[in-house]
Chains A and B, each alone.
Chain A
Amino acid sequence: MSNIKIEIRQEDVSKIKEICASYNRDPQELINILHACQEHFGYLPAEVQEVISAETGIPVAKIYGVVTFYSFFSMTPKGKHPISICMGTACYVRGAERVLEEFKKELKLQVGQTTPDGKFSLSSLRCVGACGLAPVVLIGDKTYGRVAPDDVKKILKEYE
C-alpha cells in the first residue's frame, strides 16, 4: 500500500462516516462513496480506506483492489495545480507526446508524480472530448487548447 502515513483527524473520520451514511453504508455504493471521499480529501490514502471498510463492512483489501483498479482514484495527493495532458488519439496524432515530454523536462517530473513543493502534479488522461482543440492540456479546471511544445514554459509561468 501507499508508503505515505498520515494522521487522520477526528473530524475527517466523522466526514467519512457521514459520506458512508448518506449512501446507507451500502457496499454496492462503494464507487460513489470513493468519489465523494476523493472529492473531499483530494486523494484516497490507506487510512481513509480503512474507515470506509469499518463503515461498510467491505474488507479493506477489496477496497484497495477497487481503488487501484480505476485510474480516476489516486492514493497520492495531487499538486496544487494538477496538470493533465490529454493522450487521446486525436491529441496524440497532433503531437501531444512532445507536449508531455516538454512538461516532464520543465518540471523534472514523471507522469503520476508531484513536485516536492506540492505545487504541480503531472498526469496523462484519455480524451477530454475537446478534440477540436487538440492537443489539449488541463491545469486545474482551466483548459489550454492547441498547445505546442514551445508554449509550455509560458503556460507554467502563469502559475509562478
Chain B
Amino acid sequence: MHILVCGGTGCQSSQSDAILSNLRDEIEAKGLSDKVQVILTGCFGFCEKGPIVKIIPDNTFYTQVKPEDAQIIVEEHIIKGRKVDRLLYRNPETKDAVGDSKHMGFFKKQLRIVLRNCGFIDPENIDEYIARDGYMALGKVISEMTPQQVIQEIKDSGQRGRGGAGFPTGLKWEIASKNKSDEKYVVCNADEGDPGAFMDRSVLEGDPHSVLEAMAICGYAIGASQGLIYIRAEYPLAIHRLKIAIDQAREYGLLGNNIFGSDFSFDIKLRYGAGAFVCGEETALIHSMEGLRGEPTIKPPFPAESGFKGKPTNVNNVETLAAIPIIILKGANWYNKIGTEKSKGTKVFALAGKINNVGLIEVPMGTTLREIIFEIGGGIRDGKKFKAVQTGGPSGGCLMEKHLDTPIDFDNLVAAGSMMGSGGMIVMDEDNCMVSVAKFFLEFTVEESCGKCAPCRIGNKRLYELLNQITEGKGSMEDLDRLRNMSVVIKDSALCGLGQTSPNPVLSTLDNFMDEYVAHVKDKKCPAGKCKNLMEYYIIPENCVGCTACARVCPVNAIAGERKEVHQINHDVCIKCGACKDKCKFDAIIIR
C-alpha cells in the first residue's frame, strides 16, 4: 500500500510537510513500515481542497487533511480498512462523500499526459520515474533512431509549443538541426510569468525528470550537447527538485558523457530568472541568460540560427518538453489522434478565480470551456452567475457566455478574440468589473514593459491612463474609440510578443462587454459595483434591524443610528471600503 501526500507549493503552504512526517511516525509506531510506504509526490491538481492525501491502490482521495488526522487515517483506513468519511471529498451538489478519485467530477473528464506522473511518483527519486518507463524514450532514440527520425516523429505528432504562440515543435527542431555549428544549445523556458498560471511549476516540482529526458532527446535530435533551464527565482521548490534530479541523472549516467554507452553527450545547467515577465519571450530570455537586461531583439535572426552566445539555440516551454518522452514511446500516431485537427494532444490549464474547484487540469484539445468550468471546475462559487473567463494571461482576452461551447484549441481561441497563452484560465462572476479587469492587465503590462520600443512603453501607458479615467467616471465616448484605435496601432507596431498582445484584454472587453464601458462613461455607473468613484453605499431601511454591526466596523465612523433603529451612511465621510457591507448579516447594505 502507498500513502501519497501532495508536496506541491499550494499544499506545502498548508502544512503538508507535517502531515507527511506524522504519517511516517504513525506507520512506524504501528510497525507497518515494510507494508506501507508514505511518499511525498508532486501536485494532484486539486489545489482548492488541499492538502491532499491519496491512498493507493484503492484511490481514496482525502481532502483538507490536517497533521493531526494522520493517526485516524492509519488506524481506521490502513489497519481496519475503513475509509475516514469526514475527510472524503463531497459532491458539492448532493453532499455525498465520494470514495475514490475516479468518481470525482474534477478528474472524470481529464486526460493526463503531461501530468502523468504528477501526484503519482516521488519527484526526488529517479527510480520511481524509471519505474514509470522514465528514460526509456531517451534510450530508444539513442539506440534505434537517427536524429532525423526523431524530428520526423515529433513533426508527425503535430505537437505545437505550449508556451503561447503554438509554433510546431518538430519544425522548430528541424530548423535548429539544419543550422550547422560547433555548438548548439537546448533551452527550457521555465520562466512562467503569466499571473495565475502554474502548470510549469507543477511539472517541475512533480516530474522534473520528464523535462530533463526531453531536453536530452532534443539535444540528440538537433545536435546539441548543452542544455540550460531558465527558471524563475520565485520557484524555490522547483529549483530544489531540479537540482536533485540533475544530480541523480548524472549519477545514473543519463546525463553527462557518452549516454547509454553511445557517443552522444549531454548535460544540463540551471540559469535563474529575476522577475521580468518579458523574459518569457525567447530573445529576451537568451539575453537574460547572458547576464544582460532581458530586452527582446528583432526576429530574424531567430534563436534557431543565432541564439545563446550567437549559436543555434532551440527554446521550448516546460509543458511542451514534458510530453516529448511519451510521444516517442507511444508514437506520433497515438498522440495525433488526441485533440482537434490543428491542435493535437492535451493542454494543461490552471483553473482559478471565482470557481469551485481551483486547480491544475489537463484535457484533450477540443474540450469546451463549459465542460472545463462547469463539469471539471464545479461551476461558480457561492452560486453566483458566470460572467467571463480570461484565458491567455495578460496577452489574452476575456470570453463570455456565448463562447462557452467553443471547442478550445489554438485557432478557435484566437478567432474568439483571446489566445491559448500558457494556459491560465481565470473565471469571473457578476461581481467583477470588466473595465477594471482590463485596467488590471494593462497595469501589469505597463510595469513589465521593458521600455525598448515606443508603442509598448508609451502606448500601453496611455491605454492604462484612459482605462483609469473611465473607472473614475471621467471617460467619454470618444475615449472608447481612442482605446480601440490605439490598441490596434500597438498590436501592429510593437517589437515583441509582449507588446503585440498586450492590448488584447482591452480589445476583447470592448468587443464583449461594450455595455459595461458605456455604463461607466455615459451613466457614470459601475454595474459590478467595483469602481469606487462610481458607487455609493446605501442602507435599505426595510432590511436594517439596527444591530450596529456596520457602525462598529466602519473605519471612519460614517455610519450613524441608534440601536434597533435604521442606520444611515454619511456619504461625505464614507471612504467606500465596503467593510459595512461585508459585516451586515441582513443584506441591508447595497451599492448604487
Contacts of A88 in B (CB 8 A): 195-196
Determine whether B339 belongs to the interface, using a CB cutoff of 8 Å to chain A. Answer: no
A40 to chain B, nearest CB (A): 15
* Known pairs A89-B196, A131-B47; A32 contacts B294 (CB<8 A): no
State how many residues of chain A have any CB contact under 8 Å with chain B. 43
In the bound assembly, the distance between CA atoms of A125 and B437 in angstroms comes to 17
In the bound assembly, the distance between CA atoms of A30 and B271 in angstroms comes to 11
Interface pairs (28), CB distance under 8 Å: A28-B291, A28-B309, A31-B274, A32-B271, A35-B272, A58-B291, A66-B292, A70-B276, A71-B276, A72-B274, A89-B424, A90-B195, A90-B426, A93-B352, A93-B428, A125-B275, A127-B198, A130-B9, A130-B47, A131-B198, A132-B47, A132-B358, A133-B14, A133-B47, A145-B13, A149-B577, A150-B579, A150-B582
Give the tally of cross-chain contacts (CB within 8 A). Answer: 136
Determine whether A20 belongs to the interface, using a CB cutoff of 8 Å to chain B. Answer: no
A31 touches B9 (CB 8 A): no
Determine whether B379 belongs to the interface, using a CB cutoff of 8 Å to chain A. Answer: no
Q: Which residue of A lies closest to B393 (CB)?
A: A89
Q: Which residue of B lies closest to A29 (CB)?
A: B291
Q: Which residue of B lies closest to A58 (CB)?
A: B291
A-contacting residues, B333-387, CB 8 Å: 350, 352-354, 358-359
Determine whether A129 belongs to the interface, using a CB cutoff of 8 Å to chain B. Answer: yes
A126 touches B277 (CB 8 A): yes
B-contacting residues, A47-80, CB 8 Å: 58, 65-66, 69-73
Contact for A69 among B293, B359, B577, B578, CB less than 8 A: B293
* Known pairs A130-B10, A131-B352, A132-B48; A89 contacts B195 (CB<8 A): yes
B79 to chain A, nearest CB (A): 31
B-contacting residues, A25-42, CB 8 Å: 26-32, 34-35
Determine whether B302 belongs to the interface, using a CB cutoff of 8 Å to chain A. Answer: no
Q: Which residues of B contact A (CB under 8 A)?
A: 9-10, 13-14, 47-50, 192-198, 201-202, 233-235, 271-277, 288-294, 309, 350, 352-354, 358-359, 390, 393, 424, 426, 428, 432, 437, 440-441, 444, 450, 555, 577-579, 582
- 20 extra interchain contacts, Cβ-Cβ under 8 A, other than A69-B276, A129-B202, A131-B352? A31-B288, A34-B274, A35-B233, A70-B275, A72-B273, A73-B275, A90-B196, A93-B428, A126-B193, A126-B277, A127-B194, A127-B198, A130-B10, A131-B358, A132-B48, A133-B10, A133-B14, A136-B13, A143-B14, A145-B14
Contacts of B273 in A (CB 8 A): 70, 72
Q: Which residue of A lies closest to B276 (CB)?
A: A70
Determine whether A94 belongs to the interface, using a CB cutoff of 8 Å to chain B. Answer: yes
Determine whether A134 belongs to the interface, using a CB cutoff of 8 Å to chain B. Answer: yes
Contact for B10 among A27, A35, A65, A131, CB less than 8 A: A131
In the bound assembly, the distance between CA atoms of A4 and B37 in angstroms comes to 54
Give the interface centre of A88, A94, A125 by most chain B CB atoms within 10 Å. Answer: A88
A70 touches B354 (CB 8 A): no
Give the interface centre of B14, B195, B393, B441 by most chain A CB atoms within 10 Å. Answer: B195
B218 to chain A, nearest CB (A): 22
